[in-house]
């Protein structure tokens, strides 16, 4: 699969409002969207940086993936999302090459994008998300 660009970088934070203030004050970026993704047990905040975005992630549930991540590793970079075309085909391609999929088929993520995650155990320790690139 060949990504067109990094769609976003996900950063796990304990407090969304504090982290938003940091990016707005220090980098003069504007948070353009705050959205709860109930299925993922997170509240997200987005900033545009060129063609890429920063996605801040605050857990809404102690059993959610972001809560467990922060408990284990602390706040920090949580995942990298690549924009790809034909996401369902890309998942099949990854699986054929022995990559463990978290999502065997695409599902809806923040901002209405079709997304899927690859397991960090198969990707040198980085949680990778692929997103359908609607601009191609």
Interacting residues with ligand CMX (CB under 6 A):
10, 37, 40, 42, 55, 57, 65-66, 68-69, 72, 78-79, 102, 109-110, 117, 119-120, 125, 127
Identity of the residue, 98 or 125, whose beta carbon is nearer to ligand CMX in the bound complex: 125
Q: How far is the CB of 125 from ligand CMX (least distance, A)?
A: 6
Which residue is nearest to ligand CMX, using beta carbons?
65
Cα torsion 92, 67, 75, 24: sign: positive
Q: How far is the CB of 120 from ligand CMX (least distance, A)?
A: 4
C-alpha 4: how far from its chain's center? 16
* 3-state DSSP of 76-121: EEEEEEEEECCHHHHHHHHHHCCCCECCCCCEECHHHCEEEEECHH
Nearest to 77 by CA among 17, 21, 3, 6: 6
Q: How far is the CB of 12 from ligand CMX (least distance, A)?
A: 7
Q: How far is the CB of 64 from ligand CMX (least distance, A)?
A: 7
Identity of the residue, 42 or 84, whose beta carbon is nearer to ligand CMX in the bound complex: 42
Show the tokens assigned to 95.
Answer: 């699986």
């Amino acid at each position: 699969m060949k990504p067109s660009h990094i769609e976003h970088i996900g950063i796990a934070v304990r407090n969304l409002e504090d982290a938003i203030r940091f990016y707005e004050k220090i980098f003069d970026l504007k948070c353009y969207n705050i959205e709860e993704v109930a299925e993922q047990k997170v509240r997200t905040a987005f900033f545009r940086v060129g063609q890429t975005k920063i996605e801040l992630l605050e857990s809404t549930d102690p059993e959610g993936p972001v809560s467990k991540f922060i408990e284990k590793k602390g706040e920090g970079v949580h995942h990298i999302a690549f924009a790809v075309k034909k996401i369902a085909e890309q998942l099949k391609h990854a699986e054929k090459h022995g990559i463990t999929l978290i999502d065997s088929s695409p599902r809806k993520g923040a901002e209405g994008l079709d997304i899927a995650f690859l397991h960090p155990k198969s990707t040198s320790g980085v949680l990778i998300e692929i997103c359908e690139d609607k601009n191609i």
